[in-house]
Amino acid sequence: MATATASHCCRVCNGAITVKSRRKLFVQEFMLLEELCEVLGYMPSENDNGSQYACYLCWGALSKLKKLNNDLVEKLIRDRQNLVKKLKDKHISNCSCGKVQKKAINVF
């Protein structure tokens, strides 16, 4: 088994990893920097002498964190939009002035 060097250990769990089981952290298509920063407690960089890799287990966990965050944001946006619609509908149906104008307001 290879010894754990800076280039052959997981940045998250510090475990030794083989070439086959490592995932490169600083790849534009799979940026997990926010999640990695949250776990490590600092903003990692390609040039900070830390490992450039994560083991497949930590990579999977970081990816899951990102997905959960995206799912939560999407749900909160939908909930907010539904609440705004509900309040607008309530306002329009209870308006006593009779001069309610429906205007499209782009909030986002």
- pLDDT of 4 reads 47
With bands split at pLDDT 50, 70 and 90, how would you rate the model's confidence at 1?
A: very low
| Whether the predicted model's global pTM rises above the 0.75 cut | no
Q: pLDDT tens across 58-103, in order?
A: 999 999 999 999 999 999 999 999 999 999 988 888 876 655 555 5
Every domain of the chain and the residues it spans: 22-66
Burial (CB < 10 A; 0-12, 13-18, 19+), residue 57, is middle
Q: What's the pLDDT at 28?
A: 79
3-state DSSP assignment of residue 93: helix
